[in-house]
Structure 1
Amino acid sequence: MDDLAKILRLVQFADSALPVGAFSFSNGLESAIQQGIVHDAETLKAMVLSATKQAATLDGIALLVAHQAARMSDLCTIIAADEASYQRRLGEEMRLMTVRMGRKLGELGEHVAKTPLLADWMARVRSGTTPGTFPVGLAIVTSDLGIEASQAFAMHQYGVAAMMLGAALRLMRISFLETQAILLEVNGTVEDLYEQVRGGTLSDMRNFSPVTDILAAVHVKAHVRMFMN
């Protein structure tokens, strides 16, 4: 029964309807569509695959490091992972996305997990002494709920893809059937990505994605915007 409860916790916190504000962001997709880089199912799939690879080598490592630290109640390492995740983002909108979602997840976690570690982290987020990024918040909450690090990593990867595909349905001419086919294919890459980063340290985090950074910069000054990034 404990295994079944963990499965349901995974489903609950991986749900795209989780009230952390993911629906407000497109992870750069809106600009990509406006600039003609994404214009059909194939180009959408290519961008989502690129985004999930980038997420694995950046936030994925921060999440895994913070998850291990949370199990040992090591707040110093958690804060280091938080700073590393935030500082490696160049665009202001990308930073806004991660801290806004991170804070909302932390507030949600305070109501369901209610652990001293989460309370300490959120106190520092509110005081401005740590940014409060989404992957680190997810690491703390999932650790508190008994969800394994690999499963938390998979949840994060799924969230990146689901966010972008949900935005695509509102931004371009594409069907639910096509986005679900893309999601299934993207989900199939998660094990390989996990194996690539599972032993990574904070110094291994990398975020080289110049096209995404340019699109994010373009989006800041866009006259017509549906999403916050």
Structure 2
Amino acid sequence: MVRLGRLLQFSDSTLPVGAFAFSNGLESALQTEVVTDPASLREYVELILRQSARMDGIAFLHAHRAAMNGDHDAILVADRAIWCRRVGEEQQLMLARMGKKLAELALKIGPFPRLERWLGDIKSGATPGCFPVGQAIALAELGAPESEAFVVHQYGVASMILSAAVRLMRIDHLDTQRILFAAQDRVADDYHAVRALGLDEMAVFAPIFDVLVAHHTTTRVRLFMN
């Protein structure tokens, strides 16, 4: 029961790690009319969840396993694997800023020795400090099995986008909750699709998302950092 309560805390959208400052491309998706209504927003969320599972999710699982096994070097390998595959300065900014914030927060509220060592590597410049890796370490230290930890990771991705949607478009909390509820249907399929993949198999074909990321770096009016 304690573990479940703490997993809920670390999956809460109000966890102060800076997620409120990022829209995961949604702001540009709205400006370019890729997303225009609740139906297209749901499609966008599902696209990002699929991308997340096949990119960050693979490194997340490797980092979680490494943390459970006490293999710090393997954690750093997973961290660098995400960093070098993320397209765009803003995407890297999101990963690094949220990763460091998560580690600092966790160390303020409880003992997380592996996370403390990882934060030291971030501060020394030995590793970039990507959020999914920090999240994987924290959840491993809380005793979460990898399947549950993967659910927390994917839930956070969807929650970030939908939180931004409420501030960016004409949509109410009922619609966003319906989308979030429906989005959970795919999490088991995504987990089973990637759980046996290696870090060198991290890949996704999502050219629309890549264009949206590039668009956001040059837009003149924006509320979010990506």
Normalising TM by the smaller chain, what interval? Answer: over 0.9
Aligned partner of 1:51 in structure 2 is 48
**1:25 counterpart letter in structure 2:** F
Alpha-carbon distance in structure 1 between the residues aligned to 2:97 and 2:86: 14
- Conserved? CA contact 2:54–2:194, under 8 Å: yes
Aligned partner of 2:166 in structure 1 is 169
How far residue 112 of structure 1 moved from its aligned partner, in angstroms, is 3.2
Q: 1:114 aligns with which of 111, 116, 124?
A: 111
Aligned residues: 226
Runs of 4 or more consecutive aligned structure 1 residues displaced over 4 Å after TM superposition: none
Alpha-carbon distance in structure 1 between the residues aligned to 2:205 and 2:100: 26
Residue range with higher mean Cα deviation, 215-224 or 114-123? 114-123
Alpha-carbon distance in structure 2 between the residues aligned to 1:161 and 1:132: 21
**1:165 counterpart letter in structure 2:** L
Unaligned runs of 5+ in 2: none
TM (normalized to structure 2)? 0.97
How far residue 116 of structure 1 moved from its aligned partner, in angstroms, is 3.1
How far residue 114 of structure 1 moved from its aligned partner, in angstroms, is 2.5
Q: Deviations over 1:42-66 (max 9, x none)?
A: 1100000000000001111111101
- Conserved? CA contact 1:62–1:84, under 8 Å: yes
How far residue 208 of structure 1 moved from its aligned partner, in angstroms, is 2.5
Aligned partner of 1:147 in structure 2 is 144
1:138 aligns with 2:130: no
Alpha-carbon distance in structure 1 between the residues aligned to 2:110 and 2:50: 30
Q: Deviations over 1:126-166 (max 9, x none)?
A: 11110000010011111111111111110110011111011
Aligned partner of 2:12 in structure 1 is 15
**1:50 counterpart letter in structure 2:** L
Q: How does 1:12-161 map to 2 (within 5 A)?
A: 12-161=9-158
TM (normalized to structure 1)? 0.96
- Conserved? CA contact 1:88–1:207, under 8 Å: no
Q: Deviations over 1:63-106 (max 9, x none)?
A: 11011100111111100000001110111111100110000001
Identical counterparts, % of pairs: 50
Aligned partner of 1:6 in structure 2 is 3
Alpha-carbon distance in structure 2 between the residues aligned to 1:156 and 1:187: 12
How far residue 207 of structure 1 moved from its aligned partner, in angstroms, is 3.2
Alpha-carbon distance change, 9 to 118 in structure 1, aligned in 2, over 3 angstroms: same
Q: How large is the Cα RMSD of the aligned pairs?
A: 1.0
